Structure formats: C-alpha cells, structure tokens
Structure 1
Amino acid sequence: RKHLTFQNLQEHLERLLAEENGSEDSRDQVAEGRLGPSTVVLDHTSGFEGLLLVDDDLLGVIGHSNFGSIRATTCVYKGKWIYEVLISSQGLMQIGWCTLNCRFNQEEGVGDTPDSYAYDGNRVRKWNVTTTNYGKSWAAGDIVSCLIDLDEGTIAFCLNGISLGTAFDNITRGAGMAYFPAISLSFKESVAFNFGSRPLRYPLVEGYRPLQDPPVADLLKARKLLGYLKNVIHIGIDVTEGKLVEKDTSMWQLQGEPTVLITLAHIFNYFSPLMCKVYLVEDVLMTFLLSILERGGAVEAHPLIQQLLDLMWLLMEEYEVHECLKQLLMSLLRAYRFSPIIPDLGLQIHYLRLTIAVLKHEKSRKYLLSNVLFDVLRSVVFFYIKSPLRVEEAGLQELIPTTWWPNRFTKEGKESKEVKEESAEERLRRRAYERGCQRLKKRIEVVEGLQVQILKLLLNNKDRGGGEASRYIFLNKFRKFLQENASNRGNLTVLCPPEYMVCFLHRLIAALRFFWDGHKAKTPAALSSEEAYVPPQLFYNGKVDYFDLQRLGGLLSHLKKTLKDDLAAKANILIDPAELQAVTMDDLDEDEESATSAAQSQRPSAALAIGGALARPAWLSSPTLGRANRFLSTAAVSLMNPRRPLGTLEKIKVLTLRVEQRTREDIEGTHGNDGLLLGRPPEEPDQPITENSLLEVLDGIVMMYNLSVHQQLGKMVGVSDDVNEYAMALKDTEEKISRCPKRRRDIHEELLKSQKVFSEKLNHLSRRLAWINVTIYSKEKMQDIYWLLRVCIRTIEHGDRTGSLFAFMPEFYLSVAMNSYSALKNYFSPVNSMEELPGYEETLMRLAAILAKHFADSRIVGTDIRDSLMQALASYVCYPHSLRAVERIPEEQRISMMKNLLAPYEQRPWAQTNWILVRLWRGCGFGYRYTRLPHLLKTKPEDASLPSLQKPCPSTLLQRHMADLLRSDRDLAPSFLNSVLNQLNWAFSEFIGMIQEIQQAAERLERNFVDSRQLKVCATCFDLSVSLLRVLEMTVTLAPEIFLDWTRPSSELLLRRLAQLLNQVLNRVTAERNLFDRVVNLRLPGLESVDHYPILVAVTGILVRLLVDTDVQGTERATAVLLADPCFQLRSIQYLLGHAEPSALAAAAPAVDKRHFSLHTYTEYISTEELAKVEKMLNHLSEEFKQAAATTLPTSEEDLCPICYAHPISAIFRPCSHKSCKACINQHLMNNKDCFFCKATITGVDDFTKPASS
C-alpha cells in the first residue's frame, strides 16, 4: 500500500468514492410500475393555468380560482407508492390520486369523478363520487401522506405519520389505469408536495417507495465525505511528538495548520458540488449541524458551526455557498413549520437554535438577508408559533390535566364580574388550570425568546465585516415586505397571513425595545422606549416610503402643491417646481435625471456635506429596477443645509433614494446631514430620540398593526366566546337534569348524553383557549399593544403641533390609536384588566383629547378616517370610564368639541354627532333612563358590550358647556336648531312615506315579501327621528330662552317651527287604528325598534319642559304658539294618558284592539313626578283650548296665507309686494333669500294689516 501524500490524495479520494458507485450501479435500475420523468413535479402545462399559481420549483401550488385542480407529471400502475403534502392553510382541499381520463372543472375536482380518490381534512371526509366521514381534521402545518397499493388495490392516508386507516379498497386497476398524484383546492389555499426530491418526513411505512427515487449514490458519497471531514476535525497533529492526537471537536478552530487546510480543500473539492442539491443539504448537512447543537447549552457554546461556515465560504465557490445556504435555510423553515407540536416544543426549539447559529455567522447572515430571507422564502414563519387544532396530539392533556371554564353568567350571557363565593372544588380546579397555563407559558416563552434572538441578529448594526450592517439591509427588505402587504393592487396570494403578522409584530417590538433601551443606556440624552414616538418630519421629508397609502390631508402630490410654502418656511424643504408639474411617471423620471445632474453641477461640495447622497445617482438609470417599488416622493425633494435659523438662501436639491438602495448614511445621517430626520419643524424639541433606523422600524410596526394584526386579534376572540356559549349550554343542561322527573328515564338519558358532549367539547376548547391566551392575549402581549397605543398617541400629539404639516401624517396612525384601544378594551379584557396598565387613566384622557380635537379637524379630509374618529368618539361617550376621561381633558378643548358638535347639520354626516349629543343626554330626559326599549326587554339577550346597550351615563359637565355655548353665541343656536328641525322634518317624513309602502305591501292578498333593506332603512329613519327629538328636548331643557325669550331675533320663529313639528308627529303617531298603529302591530322583523313609547316620551319631554317647567311668561308664549298651530289636536295630548276618544269608531272597534297606549303603564320607566307633570300639562291645555275656541273668529279664505293656508296674511315682501304669514316667510328666509312667487331677491319684510272694510 502506497504512502498517502498530498500528491496522491486526489486519486485516493476518487478511488474511495468510486467503490460506492460500483455497488450502486447494480441497484440503479428503473423502478417497475412507474411511468414518467424521474424528477417528479406538478404538471403546470395541462391546462390549469390561471386557475392555480404554481411555485418556481413546480412543487408548491396556491389556489387562484373557485376550485382548481392539478396533477403530477409521473404516474404509477403497479407496486406500493407514497408522496407527502405539506398543508400550508387548512381550508377546502381534496388531495389524492386520479387517472388521465379524469376531467375536472371549477366545481368538480379530485374525488368527484369515478376514477379519482381524495381525502378532505377540512370537512373530515373521503371522496370518490360519493362522500363519507373519514380521518381527522387537518390544520396548517400538518403533513398528509398519500399511499397507494396497486397490488392490493387500496388507498390510505396518514396525518403527521399517524395512519388514518384504509380509505378506499378495490380501486380500478388493469390496462390503461395509471394513477397520478393530484389535488383540488379553493381560492387562496396553499400546499407543497414532496414526491421524494427531499427526504420524506414520515417514511416509516413498510414497503412503500416515494415517487421520486432518492439520489442514493450521491447520498453515500456525501455521507462518506462528511465522515472524512469529521475525522480531520477530530484529529490534531502533535508537532513535538510527531503523532496524531484526538481533539475536542466542539472547540475546533481553523488555526493556521496548513496540513489540515489543504486536506479539507481536497475533501471540499468533492463535497461542494453535492451540497447544492436539496436532498443532500437536508439529509446530510442539516442533520450534521443539528447533531452539533444536540448537546444542549447556549448556541454560543458551539463555535464549530461558525468555523464550518467560515470553511464553506473559504473552500467553496461563491455560487455553491449561496445555493447551499439557501437550501439549508429553506429546509430549516420547512422543518420548523411542519414539525408536530409536542408538549415541550422541543422540535421547534431545535430548529430555531440552528437558525440562530447560522445567522450568527456575519457573512452568511448578510447574504441570506440580501437574497433569501425576504426574497425566496417567507421568513416571517420563523416568528410564528402555530396553535394546535387537535389538543390530544399536542400533549396539552398532560400539560393541563385539569380544565376549567367560567360558569357564572349575567342575564346577557356574559361572564359575571360579581365575586360570588366559588365552591372549594371550583377553586381547586381553577387553580390547577391556572398552574397548567403557567407551565405552558414557560415553554412558549422559550420559543419566543429564540425568535427574538433571531430578530436581534437581523437588527444588528455593529457588524465587523465590510459592507452595510445587517440592520440596514433588513430595513430595506422590511419596507418592501410592508409594501407588498399594503398595496391593495397586490396579489392576494402573496400577502402574509395575519396569524404570522401577529407573532412577527410582538417579536419585533421586543427586539426594537431591546436596541432602543440599549441606545438610551449609551446616550443618556436620548428617549427611553417608554417615551418612544415617530417624529413628524418622517412623514413629509420623503426619506421613508409610504407607497400609495392615504395621508390625513389627502394624496401626497396634492399636499406637496398646496403646502409647499409651509414646507419651505417651517421645515426648510423646497419642492422642485418641475415635480409639481410632472404628470406621468415618465415625466417624473426625466425630472429626476435633470434635477440630479443640475444639482451635481451646481454644488459638488454641498452634495458631499449631505453624506454623498447625490454622489450615487447610478440607480436612476438601472435597467433592472422596476418602477413598482420606487418612492412616491421620487423627484427632487430639496432641503437647506443649515439647520437653524431659517431664511438663508442656502437651498440645495437632493433626491430621495430608492427604498432598496438606501445606505447607513441615508438613514442615520452624518454630522452634516440629518438622515431620516431631515427638516425638523420648529415645534419639535432639538434632542436625540434614538437611532434613526429604529424610528423606521417603529413606523413599520405601526403600519403592520394596521395591515392585518388588528383583524386577527378580533378573530381569535371567537374561541373564548365559544367556551362561554358551551359553558352556558352545559349549565343549562345540568339544571334540566336536576329538574327532570325520575319517571322520565328517556329524557334523563338524552340530557346525560348532551352533558357528556358539552363537557368533552369544553375540555378541548379550554385547553385550546389556554394556548391562545398564552400566545395572543397574555399580559405581555397586552403590554405590547398598550405600548403601541401610547406610541401612536405621542406621534399624533407631536404631529398636531406642526400645524398644517400634520396633513402629511399617514391615516394609519389615527386608525391604530383607535383600534389598539378597542383591542385592549374588547379582546384582552376577559384575561387581563386594562385598568391595571401603568398610566392607564392618563392614556385614556390623551386619547380622548385626540378624538375630541380631530373628529372635526379641517386638516383631515378622508371621509373614512373622519367617520372612524366620529364613531370612536361616539363609542367613547357611552362608557362611564371613558366619558370621565373626556370630561378630564382641558376646558378649552371640551368647549371646542361641543362647539363642533353644535355646528349646523347641513353639509356633513350629522347622524353620529347627533347620537353623541343624545348619549350625553340619556339618563336626564323624560322617561329616558332605559337601556333597551321597554317592549324589547324580554326578547333580545344581545351582546351586552355593545356601545348602544350601555346603561345611561349622562355628562352634566358637557351639558353645561352646551348650554353656555347656545346662550352666549347668538348665531350658533338658530343655525344649529334650524338644521335639527330640518333634519327632523326630513327623517320623519321619510319614515311615514316608507311605512305607507310597507303597509300597502303587507295588505296585498298575493304572497309578498317586504325587502329587508327597506325595513332597515325605515327603522333607521325612526331612530333618527327619536334621537333628533331628544336633542331638541335637551336644548329646550338646557337653554329654554332660545325658544321663549322673544327679544332674540329668531326665537319666536324657532318656537313656531317646533310646535308645528311636534303637532305633526303627535297626529301621525297617536291617531287610533291609523297607519302607525297598524305597522307596529305587524311586528315585522327589522322594525323591532318602531314603537309608540320612544317617540311619544321624547315629544312629551319637550312639551312638559315648555308648558310646565318654565316661568309664567314662557308658559303663556309656548301655549299660545302651540294652540295657534292649525294642526294642534287636544286628543293627541289626551292619548298620552290613555284617554280614549269617545267616538263611534272606537266603540265599534273589536275588543282585542282596545289595548290603549298610556304613560301610566310604564311605571318602571317614568317617575310619578313626571306623570304628575303630564297631568298638569293636559289640564292646562284643556283650559286654554276651551278659551281659545271661544274667542277665535273665523277668517275668510282670501285673508289666509297662500302658502300654509293656516294663518292670516301678516307680512309683505320688499320689493315685489307679495304677501304671506310671518311664520312662512321667516322660515323660508333661514334657508333662501328668493321670493316664493316671483324669485326676486327679497330685501326686506314689513308687517301687513288688512285695511278695515268700508
């Protein structure tokens, strides 16, 4: 045997590897029973294009139509075969086998034709033309193995390696029958196939072969070479002794031993090409690297992985390292995502530790960040912890052996907050359950800690190597990721699933706060993360890309035109005029290039002072960069160099860089350049906040919450609602069992069966809920959302101080402030109480101030965001806690808010403002202390947390402000009340018109349906009428002089209009057996809220206030005006107290209809004092009515006003001399200055008295 030297080492390795080839040749024959290419992929050319999206590797598929189907390129007709499907989403899919003859369409897929067979874990069924129950339900992250035995004629399936049993036997075989793997899937569902191109995850099924043969020869070579590699690492050369010694491999380092290095170079010569193959990376390299970490301890304690990565970069070609690292990370991601959950989450932890070890290697990390993590794979998956659908397999029964659920409920079905004595057994169960939840929490926290560690590596900005630090690469990729998810035009299928977003958000907040507070420790002047906010200049200096997201003031291009002077004056930013004229993107491009060259030719020195931003315009002409990701504020945004004071003419133009190409200088800035913080407005304090790059991460986090996190938080609450529903059902069943008579054994057995079903379901759900509460609604997660709320509040406050520049702020900041508060209040509340959060009261008050100030802010133009602000304020005043916060904001802000609420209702969405005023009054009005209408009380146990179903909590403080405003501002009251009366007139008229149509439809003999939308609109008009009447009652009560002090110019007119409307309403609602009565008695679904009580007590409240609760003079004036109105009928007032009219019509009415409305029957809702006032009012009006009837003289028809035909003519118009009564012309002049008759402009109105007849 020859001595082995470096000269013949090459031959020796070749000889060793050739031995494997020899033994392999004999085995490498074409497997019998299979037809088609040896590399099995999905057949994307078989006519399913457009209905499905197939990945580049032809193994992944996403549904892009109602129900799309696709099959593989290879089929089998003999033997036993297996392939695996990795389920990425748990929706509607049918997975299995089909033949070439099967024809599928958008309704029928695999399993719907005679020769196709499928398993559907979404509906837990198997399909072959007909369907029966089979298997278990699958979840995202599961692996389905599909097995076919063509010798026996059976098809079976496994879920995560556990057999579900034979699904089909006696399948069709014989000539022309060959089976292809196939799948049908609905829109947005996604899976990945593994036919054998990667090691099967569950290959344990005896005798079955994967459809694609493993690369056996390469596998043996790779294992052998890995063995040699281990030997080299394991053995060292003792130079003094001249012999080989064994070494501890874990601490091995590549220390200048040329012998070792040359030996390794020879091994890598053969090993490198193999490491570009997916199968070998997963089976050989990943397994080896995982084995290094298996000894436990911190990842830092295993430097060998770093050394091996150094070796790879040193000894492999660059393209080989790139491919190898890409495949390694993809394998890790798949392994992490598709590992089953076991109680200690050991598998997930194992894969995350290796991911950290790889990312610790700086060169590898930068390559992966630049080219793989966001470009090739969905790295967000690494931050997700999937929640188990099947509790048993996840081992939650061992972890949480005792289950518990709330079992004390209020009438509305909400968990009761009252502390009743729980029994000793209940207490033990609850505590055991809580201990189980704590154990689970500790395990999940380990995984979360590792995920945060990964993000800390990606956000590292202290890299020692050359080139950009990881953080800046991450920032650019992160922005692009946000853009893909924010663009509505984007493909729905590339959107990141919201459940991943939630986890990513929390881990990113943890990593961000770690670096933020780290910076604070080094720079004491900076802010801590508790005081974090995003400074306003980010929104207008064009340094951060907000894509095409809406700004508070509208579109960015519009804002740049309208606010260019403010930008120049406040922030030293000049907008290039060429940009404002640019019409198309092409114009913009031309402007950019000319601007760049101009700026460079004029000021080379200034360009350098700004950190070389202008010295790199190469990206402008790059042919590879598409326009889709270009900044919106592309063209030249300019700035002045000296920071303060303003006014010098040193104005330079600079281009905002493309998002993908920004460097550290562009973001952090240098001594002569503020980077992201360019253009600080004078209102902003001149103190460092934190590193600029962290501000951009923070901004991205806020955007992420807005994109999909909030919706997902709302969605997951469903599980706790289910627990409450089942718990109520169980409690109900147990009560029935205790009441069941002993002789009824049959009922007793049925009830016991129900009890068993409910208990099992609750055991399952309470364990699942424990998982969700730990991963989504834990106290720490709540604090994250609370921190985000406070960040938004501070950002809005800082932005608000910049005056007109506030319009540049993206809308999502206001949305997140409102939504995060709503999430804390509604989604986290059953588990954690919001009141315990630090600074909660102050935060509530600051949010109240934002809502109060901005709901009518002229700088905000978007109708959607204005509506949201209005709704948030409306919801805020419904709850005592938040209403008190509104009362605590500074007085001038409160008064300003009330003034905005009292603005005329025309030209704006007024229904919400009216509702806010009604809520502030509810509890003070006549008979207005109800939460739900009296006639609905027993029938509808709705969700008790709805804003509209809160107990009345009036605000006397805000009522006082309203009264002061109405009294002191002479113009405000008439314009406000005129608009309220106009809207009431409209709403009630619409309501009456609609109930006429409904009544006609209901009386037709043929079968008919009343449109449910029409009923809804009708009920809304009724509710609006009632709430407008309540606002009038509020006004009359708080400031009666507006109607009764006739020294005010418009009070008499307002009183007449009010009387006219009240009489109209009373006449329509109180007439016996009339339209209103009949529609109420129909009790149509959708018109539940339409009833006599709400509208009549509102009208009564106004009348009592005018006729009983004022001084003598006021009562006289109100009485006179009311009786003078031609529509007044005393019987309408008598109706209120149930005094039926003694007419023949009433006598003829059948006995059933003789149930009269009367306020006396509502003793729970109306106090005795209130009833006494109504009696007093009726007596007073009866007396006055008799006297008025005795003194009234008949008026001839010619003397009546030609408009209303109710009052005598009393006014003559200048200059046209047409005539009418004063009431008509005064009301007309409030809205219009043209004459009724001839359309001439009226310049004045004089009194008119008819001359006495001669």
Structure 2
Amino acid sequence: MHIKAPDDPNLARLIPNVWWDKTLKKEEDDSEDEDLEELEETPAERINRKKFELCCERLGERIEELESIQVELLKCLLINNDYIEGKTSRDLFLVRLKTFLRDHSTFNRPQVAQCSLPVILCFFHRLIQALRFYWDQTSVPSTEAFMPIQCFWNESRDYFELLRCGGLMSHLNRQLSTELNRAQGIEVQEDGKVVKKTKDSASSKSEDDYPKLDALLGNSLEEILDCVVLLYHIAAHRQLGKMCALRESMLDFVVNLRDTEKKIRKCPDELSEVKEYLEGAKMVFVEKIVEQARQMVWVEKVIYSPFFYVSGLPNLLNWYARFLVNHFFDSRLVSNDLKDTLVQALACFTCYPDTLKILEEMPMENRILMIQSLISPYENRSWAHTNWILVRIWKGCGFGYRYRYLPNLIPHKAQPTEFSYVSLQRLDTVTFYPILTVTVGIMAQLIVRCGGSSQEKATRSLLLDSSFSLDSLKFVLGENMAIRGKPDKAFSFRKFDEISVEEMEDVEKLMSYLSQQQVSLTASEEVVKEDELCTICYANRQQAVFVPCGHKSCRVPIGFVKANGQQA
C-alpha cells in the first residue's frame, strides 16, 4: 500500500524545472509587505513556472495509476458475499486490521511488528477510498451520526483500552437497562423474572422506536470506519505532522533567501568579503529550497487530498466547532479527563483568528450554551484552560485592548548604573495588565455602561461576595501600592497609553458607584453576632444544620459541594 518516494537524483529527473513562490512569508510577520510588492514575476520565471506545473501534472497522472491499483486491491479485500466456511473476505480483513491496530497502538507494550509511518499513511488514504465505494452503496441519510443500539449488548466493538465517552460497558448497561430491555423485547416482571415478549406485542413498541438488527454488511462497514479513525490517531497524524514540518522548513529557507538578497543589494562594493559570504549563503539557500520544493511536489501529489476536499474545510470546521460546543459539557460524559480533553480542543479554537471567528459567528443559542458550560463546575475540574478560553473570548469588552503584543513585555534598555541594580524592567506587571483589563472591562460594561436590571444584579452579586474588597479594585489606580511602597513602582492604568481617557473615566465612575452602594448596603445590613457566623466561610449567617452531628453552616458551602457532584 505504499508508493515509495524516489531518491533525489530520480526526483530531479522527474522534475527538472523547479519554481517556488517568492512572496511566501510567515503568518506573524507583517514587516515585509512593502518588499513583497516589489517582487514581480519576470517573463523567464513565468515560463519556468509553467514548465514546473506541467511536470507536476505528469507526476500526478503516473501516481494516480498506482493509487487506483491499490484501491482496487482493497476493494477485493472488502468483498462481503464470497462466503467460505462462514467467513467472507471482509470478515478476514477486518480481523487482520484490528490485530494490526492493536499491535501498533500506544497501549501495546512492547510494540511489535512496527510498520513505517509513510506506509501507514498511504494505506490510510487508500482504505478511505475503498470504504467510501461500499459505503455509498448502502448508506442511509441521517441528520446525526449514531451508534446502533445493538452494539450495547452484543459487545461486537473492541476499542482495546481506549476510554469510552459514556464510561465502561457495565456502567452503560446498568444506566440504560430499561432501554436495552425494550430494544430486545424483554420485560422484567416485579418478581425479577425475565420474560421474552411475543412478536406482536414487542413489534408494536420496539420496531417503531428502534431499527431492526443491522445486516452484517452495514455493521462491518461501521467497524472499518472505526478502524480508520483509530488508524489516523495511531500513526497517520504523526506522519502528517512531519509533512507540515517540511513545509515550515522550506518557508524558513525562502524567508532567509529573501533577506539575504536584500542584504546583497544594500552591501557596498568595497566590502567584497562580506558580499562573497552573502553570495555563498544565497547559493546554500537556493540549493535547499530546490531540494525541498521537489519533495513538496511529491507530498502534494501523494499525501494530501484533492483540492475539493480542502474547499470543504470551512464547513467542516463549523460543524466541528458546533459539535465541541454542544457536547464538551454533555451530561453523558462520565470521565473528567475526557471533559478536560474536550475543553483543551475548544481552547485550540480560540488560539487562531480563523477558528475564533467561527466561534464568534455561531448562533446565539450555541454561544450562550458554551459560556454557561464553561463556568459550570464539576469534580476535580482544571480551570486553567477554561480561564484561557474566557479571557480570549471576552477581552474585557475591548477595554484597554489596543496592542498586538503586551506592552509590559516589550524589552527596555537598562540604565548604565551599578550591575546590582540591573534587572528585568517592570517584571512585577507582567501578569497584571491583561487580566486586570479584562476584569475591569467586564465590570465597567455591566455596571457603568449597561444600567437597569443588569447593573443592579451585578452590583449586588459583587458586593455580597465575601471575597470581594474595594481595595482590590483600587489597585488598578495605584492607590494602595502608592501608600505601601514606592510610588514610582505602583501599578496603575494611568501609566499605560493603551487606556483611553474615556476608559479611565469609566473606572473612576465604577469606583465611585461601588463605594456609594457599599456604604448604603452596609448601613442596611443587620449586624451578625460572631457566634452566629458560619464556621466554614465566616461571611454569612448560619442557615443549615448537619444531621446527625449537629454542626451548623451557611448554604454557600453546601451548594458548592453539590455543584461539584459530591454528597452533602
């Protein structure tokens, strides 16, 4: 199932003319836009590009012939009507495929009979084409993917030691026992006796709700699809990562070549040694780019899918984003580790502009569901990725967000004084600015700008929180630090040019409003005796009694314990 890549001399014979895009640049590099506009394609380069594209097409046609032979071979192995001793070719192939996956999975120690990653990747692509051929013949339209309910009791699916989303099979059978009995036409009487329903009574209730037992054809194709997913997880993804590394390496050489050519043009003629050194570096870069450009042609024609698959990537990302948003906090997920993994996948969507835009363009009900799920606690939840997602999405409603790189991370030159005084400048503000602008921005949006019921609810919730103090909010203006320590080292929003005058006015209005509300709330509050305070939080009045020990506390710790799924 492998098309071996030719060595460099044979690859040079197949692709004698090499062309690459000289305007390539890294995504984070915006400094070369003016220089790239000057790199117009010359007539000679245009002719060379056409010859290069013609060589690529010829190579692709030759490879397609070999690919079609490999796909036809797999189609023969997936035939399902050639019964010999009760087994078909597909049954035998499926058994060998599962054995192959078990031997190459990360759970198998030690790993034996290791197959090379390029061979597995080629086999992965050919198997998808062969599976698609038979799948289209027997597929039934459905709005959502589903697992046939028969798989819950016949234990035909073996996923080795991979964790199931719904938990162990014994747990699922116990939780869904009623559904399983209905599907199988079984009734459990009050005395515990299991009775098989008659066909007439069972068909009226079960056949309409559950499909009939799938034919072997459909079941085997679904199992092969599961194997394809496992195959990608075990090996194919790692090989694709190496291909991406090749592309990144070529991009680095192209950028370095462009910088070297720019230095050669600016180098004076009297610096002959420097110019000779730059010319030598240019030749090395060109040689590397030519070599890797030929390798990228092979990767494009053999490894990656046709362009019409790439054109469907935006829709695929939209579907995947909705799937994550709808299911990363699904109540049917019993493993906390799996929940954390899904949250990490959602965090990846917030790291890149294109995928973040997809999340922003989702329907409002999906976005509300995502935020509610993110702030809902569960047992042993890791809040690091959740906080990262919330910070990336909210950004304090744009408060103080007028920078690409954090202003406090821009390096400052140390003054030429005694060496003991040389230190990292403003190191104490590295983590303050981004998190404080987000927090204060959201508070200003809810309390100062919105007004109405939103202002009242936010104010009351904030001031009644036992862990909130106005001193922590005064910190952003540098008032507390100026009193305690040196005024020049105090953190303050006034020192940042990214904070506008209007935003500073909102902060001052927020401070004034909260101070007034806290005074009025304190005056109306009833003084609680020390003996009546909760012995857990020491902030609220005792409201609940534990039985049988008789201890007393407020309801806040009890609600927290219940929210984390523990017994109270």
Question: Do the aligned partners of 1:1213 and 1:1242 also contact (CA within 8 Å) in 2?
Answer: no
Once the two structures are superposed, the pairs formed by residues 646-795 of structure 1 within 5 Å of their partners are 682=209, 691-779=218-306, 783=309
Q: Deviations over 1:1194-1220 (max 9, x none)?
A: xxxxxxxxxxxxx9997543693679x
Mapped partners of 1:429, 1:454: distance in 2 = 38
Residue number among 178, 181, 184 corresponding to 1:568 in the alignment: 181
Question: Do the aligned partners of 1:925 and 1:1033 also contact (CA within 8 Å) in 2?
Answer: no
Q: Deviations over 1:278-308 (max 9, x none)?
A: xxxxxxxxxxxxxxxxxxxxxxxxxxxxxxx
Instruction: Using the TM superposition, give the Cα deviation of residue 402 of structure 1 relative to its aligned residue in structure 2, in angstroms.
Output: 1.6
1:405 aligns with 2:43: no
Mapped partners of 1:463, 1:415: distance in 2 = 64
Structure 1 residues 1044 and 1057: alpha-carbon distance in aligned structure 2, compared to 1, 3 A threshold: farther
Mapped partners of 1:689, 1:890: distance in 2 = 40
Question: Relative CO higher for 1 or 2, CA cutoff 8 Å, sep ≥ 6?
Answer: 2
Instruction: Using the TM superposition, give the Cα deviation of residue 909 of structure 1 relative to its aligned residue in structure 2, in angstroms.
Output: 2.5
> Which residue in the other structure is 2:55 paired with?
436
> Which residue in the other structure is 1:336 paired with?
none
Q: Which amino acid is the alignment partner of residue 12 of structure 2? A: Q
1:1171 aligns with 2:501: yes
Question: Do the aligned partners of 1:452 and 1:508 also contact (CA within 8 Å) in 2?
Answer: yes
Q: Deviations over 1:779-826 (max 9, x none)?
A: 26x83xxxxxxxxxxxxxxxxxxxxxxxxxxxxxxxxxxxxxxxxxxx
- Compare CA radii of gyration and give the structure with the larger one: 1
Residue number among 474, 489, 510 corresponding to 1:1063 in the alignment: 474
Instruction: Using the TM superposition, give the Cα deviation of residue 1004 of structure 1 relative to its aligned residue in structure 2, in angstroms.
Output: 12
Question: Do the aligned partners of 2:343 and 2:386 also contact (CA within 8 Å) in 1?
Answer: yes
Q: What is the number of equivalent residue pairs in this alignment?
A: 528
> Which residue in the other structure is 1:870 paired with?
343
Mapped partners of 1:930, 1:691: distance in 2 = 55
> Which residue in the other structure is 1:463 paired with?
82
Question: Do the aligned partners of 2:117 and 2:235 also contact (CA within 8 Å) in 1?
Answer: yes
Relative to its length, the structure with more strand (as a share) is 1
Mapped partners of 1:501, 1:1067: distance in 2 = 60
1:422 aligns with 2:422: no
Question: Do the aligned partners of 2:532 and 2:541 also contact (CA within 8 Å) in 1?
Answer: no
Q: Describe the SS at the equivalent of 1:691.
A: helix
Question: Do the aligned partners of 1:407 and 1:415 also contact (CA within 8 Å) in 2?
Answer: no
Instruction: Using the TM superposition, give the Cα deviation of residue 755 of structure 1 relative to its aligned residue in structure 2, in angstroms.
Output: 0.9
Mapped partners of 1:571, 1:416: distance in 2 = 67
Mapped partners of 2:21, 2:196: distance in 1 = 61
Question: Do the aligned partners of 1:1214 and 1:1243 also contact (CA within 8 Å) in 2?
Answer: no
Question: Do the aligned partners of 2:349 and 2:356 also contact (CA within 8 Å) in 1?
Answer: yes
Mapped partners of 1:928, 1:905: distance in 2 = 32
Structure 1 residues 1031 and 499: alpha-carbon distance in aligned structure 2, compared to 1, 3 A threshold: farther
Question: Do the aligned partners of 2:448 and 2:506 also contact (CA within 8 Å) in 1?
Answer: no
1:1229 aligns with 2:540: yes
Mapped partners of 1:847, 1:510: distance in 2 = 22
Q: Describe the SS at the equivalent of 2:304.
A: coil
Instruction: Using the TM superposition, give the Cα deviation of residue 756 of structure 1 relative to its aligned residue in structure 2, in angstroms.
Output: 1.0
Q: Which amino acid is the alignment partner of residue 505 of structure 1? A: F
Give the percent of matched residue pairs that are identical in Structure 1 and Structure 2.
Answer: 31
Moved more, 716-725 or 481-490: 481-490
Unaligned runs of 5+ in 2: 189-193, 413-418, 556-568
Q: Describe the SS at the equivalent of 2:528.
A: strand
1:513 aligns with 2:132: yes
Question: Do the aligned partners of 2:533 and 2:541 also contact (CA within 8 Å) in 1?
Answer: no
> Which residue in the other structure is 1:1213 paired with?
528
Structure 1 residues 854 and 924: alpha-carbon distance in aligned structure 2, compared to 1, 3 A threshold: same
Q: Deviations over 1:207-231 (max 9, x none)?
A: xxxxxxxxxxxxxxxxxxxxxxxxx
Q: Describe the SS at the equivalent of 1:1228.
A: coil
Q: Which amino acid is the alignment partner of residue 16 of structure 2? A: P
Q: Deviations over 1:1009-1029 (max 9, x none)?
A: x9xxxx9xx977986666555
Mapped partners of 1:1028, 1:1048: distance in 2 = 14
> Which residue in the other structure is 1:449 paired with?
68
> Which residue in the other structure is 2:566 paired with?
none
Question: Do the aligned partners of 2:253 and 2:285 also contact (CA within 8 Å) in 1?
Answer: yes
So what's the TM-score if we normalise by structure 2?
A: 0.75
1:1241 aligns with 2:563: no
Q: Which amino acid is the alignment partner of residue 407 of structure 1? A: K
Instruction: Using the TM superposition, give the Cα deviation of residue 1230 of structure 1 relative to its aligned residue in structure 2, in angstroms.
Output: 9.3
Once the two structures are superposed, the pairs formed by residues 248-327 of structure 1 within 5 Å of their partners are none
Structure 1 residues 1176 and 417: alpha-carbon distance in aligned structure 2, compared to 1, 3 A threshold: closer
Instruction: Using the TM superposition, give the Cα deviation of residue 417 of structure 1 relative to its aligned residue in structure 2, in angstroms.
Output: 10
Structure 1 residues 1034 and 753: alpha-carbon distance in aligned structure 2, compared to 1, 3 A threshold: same
Q: Which amino acid is the alignment partner of residue 1241 of structure 1? A: K
Structure 1 residues 760 and 877: alpha-carbon distance in aligned structure 2, compared to 1, 3 A threshold: closer
Structure 1 residues 911 and 1181: alpha-carbon distance in aligned structure 2, compared to 1, 3 A threshold: closer
Q: Which amino acid is the alignment partner of residue 870 of structure 1? A: V
Question: Do the aligned partners of 1:400 and 1:433 also contact (CA within 8 Å) in 2?
Answer: yes
Mapped partners of 2:484, 2:532: distance in 1 = 46
Q: Which amino acid is the alignment partner of residue 856 of structure 1? A: F
Mapped partners of 2:62, 2:282: distance in 1 = 33
Q: Deviations over 1:87-121 (max 9, x none)?
A: xxxxxxxxxxxxxxxxxxxxxxxxxxxxxxxxxxx
Instruction: Using the TM superposition, give the Cα deviation of residue 546 of structure 1 relative to its aligned residue in structure 2, in angstroms.
Output: 2.1
Instruction: Using the TM superposition, give the Cα deviation of residue 735 of structure 1 relative to its aligned residue in structure 2, in angstroms.
Output: 0.9
Instruction: Using the TM superposition, give the Cα deviation of residue 564 of structure 1 relative to its aligned residue in structure 2, in angstroms.
Output: 3.0
> Which residue in the other structure is 1:503 paired with?
122
Structure 1 residues 1212 and 496: alpha-carbon distance in aligned structure 2, compared to 1, 3 A threshold: same
> Which residue in the other structure is 1:476 paired with?
95
Structure 1 residues 1027 and 391: alpha-carbon distance in aligned structure 2, compared to 1, 3 A threshold: farther
Once the two structures are superposed, the pairs formed by residues 1045-1084 of structure 1 within 5 Å of their partners are 1045=456, 1050=461, 1052-1054=463-465, 1057=468, 1059-1064=470-475, 1066-1067=477-478, 1071=482
> Which residue in the other structure is 2:565 paired with?
none
Q: Deviations over 1:48-98 (max 9, x none)?
A: xxxxxxxxxxxxxxxxxxxxxxxxxxxxxxxxxxxxxxxxxxxxxxxxxxx
So what's the TM-score if we normalise by structure 1?
A: 0.37
Once the two structures are superposed, the pairs formed by residues 364-379 of structure 1 within 5 Å of their partners are none
Q: Which amino acid is the alignment partner of residue 557 of structure 1? A: S
Mapped partners of 2:101, 2:207: distance in 1 = 26
Question: Do the aligned partners of 1:456 and 1:511 also contact (CA within 8 Å) in 2?
Answer: yes
Mapped partners of 2:62, 2:390: distance in 1 = 50
Q: Deviations over 1:290-332 (max 9, x none)?
A: xxxxxxxxxxxxxxxxxxxxxxxxxxxxxxxxxxxxxxxxxxx
Question: Do the aligned partners of 2:260 and 2:282 also contact (CA within 8 Å) in 1?
Answer: yes
Instruction: Using the TM superposition, give the Cα deviation of residue 776 of structure 1 relative to its aligned residue in structure 2, in angstroms.
Output: 1.3
Mapped partners of 2:340, 2:487: distance in 1 = 33
Residue number among 152, 163, 173 corresponding to 1:550 in the alignment: 163
Q: Deviations over 1:1117-1150 (max 9, x none)?
A: xxxxxxxxxxxxxxxxxx543xxxxxxxxxxxxx
Q: Describe the SS at the equivalent of 1:763.
A: helix
> Which residue in the other structure is 1:918 paired with?
391
Mapped partners of 1:1225, 1:1042: distance in 2 = 32
Q: Which amino acid is the alignment partner of residue 165 of structure 2? A: L
Instruction: Using the TM superposition, give the Cα deviation of residue 461 of structure 1 relative to its aligned residue in structure 2, in angstroms.
Output: 2.7
